[in-house]
Amino acid sequence: MLFQHIGHAEFLITLESGFRIVTDPFDASVGYPVPALEADGVLVSHHHHDHDAVEHIAGHPQIIDYAGAHTFAPDVRVTGILADHDDAGGAKRGKTLLFLLEAEDLRVAHLGDLGCLLDADQLEALGPVDILMLPVGGFYTIDAETARDVAEQLDPRIILPMHYRTRYNADWPIAPVESFTRLFPPDQVRAGGEALRVTKGDLVCHPRVVVL
């Protein structure tokens, strides 16, 4: 399984079969360049402009934007789990979806715009997680410290931070990724690299936190 962080909360996940999944595609208003991507499936955690620009994804993908169990292919399963976009039960920003992707003997979670700690039902639904795509920037999502606590709740082998401030969205009121990575020992963090390839057999060979 190959992970590429396009920017913000958007990842391109490519399976060994060639099946491609895009998470939370953004539009040009976010500030990042909008790449020409083609996919077989798209996961949309919620319908805000920085997460649901599916019109930019070519290939007539299947779009999943609601809770429940879904099947992209016989060996590619997705579960959408409802969560709050804020720490006030959704009163400020509504709801978001958490996604669990099961493929290639890996369990991969994308937590959308999660705004609070996970509850017991969400933890049970997500179950063991191998790879976690986790918002860390704060303000619109959980902040760095809460993100660390969520990571402790799920105890993934690999964490891929997302939804943080960069030069592309420098005027957004969110923190840079370093606010999160400084909470981990330096030998557990790897920054840089355009992609991460992971198999079940080599999970233990990767750092705990990988910033793409």
Q: What is the pLDDT of residues 128-149, one digit of tens each?
A: 999 999 999 999 999 999 999 9
**Would you say 7 and 168 are in contact if contact means Cβ atoms under 8 Å apart?**
yes
Distance CA 78, CA 73 (A): 10
Residue 160, C-beta contacts closer than 8 angstroms, at least 6 positions apart: 3, 5, 11, 131, 132, 133, 134, 196, 210, 211, 212
pLDDT above 80 (res 123): yes
- Enter the tokens of residue 33: 């360049």
Candidates 157, 163, 138, 136; CA nearest to 148 is: 136
**pLDDT, average across residues 10-23:** 98
Domain ranges of the chain: 2-211
Q: What is the pLDDT of residue 90?
A: 78
Of the listed ranges 73-77, 84-88, 131-135, the one predicted with least confidence: 84-88
**DSSP of 127-191:** -S-SEEEEE-S-SSS--HHHHHHHHHHH--SEEEEES-B-GGGTTSS--BTHHHHTTS-GGGEEE
Percentage, residues of the chain above pLDDT 70? 100
From 148, 145, 93, select the one nearest 115 (Cα to Cα).
93
Instruction: Please state the pTM of the whole predicted model.
Output: 0.96
**Contact of 51 with 45, CB cutoff 8 Å:** yes
Tokens, residue 175: 């923190």
Q: Which CATH architecture has domain 2-211?
A: 4-Layer Sandwich (3.60)
Coil, strand, or helix at residue 109? strand
Distance CA 156, CA 170 (A): 29
| pLDDT higher than threshold 80 for residue 93 | no
On the question of pLDDT at 94 being above 80, the answer is no
87 has a pLDDT exceeding 90: no
Per the document, the length of the chain is 212
